[in-house]
Structure 1
């Protein structure tokens, strides 16, 4: 499916991997609906990307907030004539914590809920609320394709480190639901692909201390550096355009396999 003159909803769309994805798809002629909590950054990104971008202040942990953003996106598509054809569920958080700390206190339930509600529940909620407008889109091409869903997992889903119980659980769940979603949606001509990046330049990695960052870079094989958001965005573009990518999780990690601790 070509991105041109189609609308893509991108959560976490005004920074990091989401912003790079928005720029890439916009350059290919797509319309991008950007969902994020950062309204200041959202306004700046819309100024940069122009009339083919819209920003909706959205908390993906709040189902009503998602509903308002999807509704706003739908109203926008009626003006542009560019139907919703895809979702990139990029909103996510990492909140490290051992399941039991040095004081023998268990990880707080509020900490678990925060990570799971944004990374897992928010991903599924955005997808389920967007789908009715993709399943009813006009099928295109010889295969009758209607759209594509792209989710973001993590290398932590496969080899999460100490202190990543909540994060790894959320990202592992996203990876696990890829194939069932693809099977559920196959009759509609909608594909599902998940990307599992390792260490990439993003707002989340900016919070890492230099020692942690260096330790992660050491266990990368090649290249020995953090990935660039543009490299992630190129893979998203390939997932949009390559119809044989479906029901699979793609690791984007420089052959990195994380040890249990640094």
Structure 2
């Protein structure tokens, strides 16, 4: 799909990988709606790229529906969805006090990362199937965000790894489900990236993490994630696949 002139939605677009993806889409000529629970961050990015900012809670059907409608009113119906919103946590199943980890903590991560991804996907797809197909029969493209933790999660990452493994697991069946409608679905599984959250760590910790990456021995740049996300859009034969972008990293247990 040619990105030029297409309407695009980016969840989690107010910072990190989402911000980089929103900026790259805009550079390539897309009309970008920046969706985020932090409207201030979304507005900052939207102002820079001449897009629009929309408050969106990916776990809320009403919030997502309203965001899709607002974006469509401004830019026309979206054909591109970049799902990058998510949260992370690390908690051992048995704490130092000998007590089990709260179930609520696990459920929250699953709710945002997995249920939230599905929620946005189903509502985007419902709107997308109503569009006229492009010349190649394609109506839309969805790109999800998983993590290398889906495959080799570390100690304490049970909730995060499970949520991201769920995203990986639904990619192929969703692609098969939506094939009849001309909607492609792919997922990116990033490794260690230089996001604002990562940059809050002490510099020696960042250097140690970078040194664990075989090559190149540096943290990934958000722009590299964004370039891959946009390549998936333009490469029409990519469908139903999860692509790792990690410098050949395999996470150690700790």
TM-score, normalised with respect to structure 1: 0.93
Residue matched to 1:10: 10
Contact 2:210 2:218 in 1 (8 A): yes
Gaps of 5+ in 1: none
Take 2:117 and 2:239, find their aligned partners in 1: how far apart are those partners?
18
Deviation sequence 1:177-197 (CA, Å, 0-9, x none): 110000000011111110000
Q: Is the 8 A contact 1:93 1:204 kept in 2?
A: no
1:105 alignment partner, SS class: coil
Check if 1:139 corresponds to 2:133: yes
1:154–1:195 Cα contact (<8 Å) kept:
yes
Between the aligned partners of 1:120 and 1:96, the Cα distance in structure 2 is: 17
- Give the RMSD, CA atoms, in angstroms: 1.4
**Cα 1:35–1:215 shift into 2, 3 Å:** same
Cα deviation digits, residues 1-44 of structure 1 (max 9, x gap): 01111111110001111111111111111111111122222222
Higher deviation after alignment, 175-184 or 61-70: 61-70
In the alignment, does 2:249 pair up with 1:249?
no
Corresponding residue SS for 1:177: helix
> Does the aligned pair in 2 maintain the 1:151–1:174 contact within 8 Å?
yes
Structure 1 residue 211: Cα displacement: 5.4
Runs of 4+ deviating beyond 6 Å = none
In the TM superposition, residue 254 of structure 1 has moved relative to its aligned partner by 0.2
- For residues 87 and 28 of structure 1, the distance between their equivalents in structure 2, rounded to whole angstroms, comes to 15
Which of 94, 104, 123 matches 2:98?
104
* Partner residue in 1 for 2:42: 42
Alignment correspondent of 1:231:
224
Determine the structure 2 residue equivalent to 1:157: 150
When structure 1 is superposed on structure 2, of 60-69 and 16-25 the one drifting more is 60-69
Cα offset, 1:209, TM superposition = 4.6
Counterpart in the other structure of 2:81? 87
Query: Secondary structure in 1 aligned to 2:9?
Result: strand
Paired residues, what number? Answer: 254
Structure 2 residue 55 is matched with structure 1 residue 62: no
1:36-87 CA-partner distances (Å, limit 9, x unpaired): 122222222222111xx1111112222222122112122223xxxx431011
Tell me the CA shift for residue 158 of structure 1: 0.5
Structure 1 residue 218: Cα displacement? 2.5
Partner residue, 1:121: 115
TM-score, reference length from structure 2: 0.95
Runs of 5+ consecutive residues of structure 2 not aligned to the other structure: none
Deviations 1:175-234 (A, max 9, x none): 111100000000111111100000011233234455553442222100111100111110
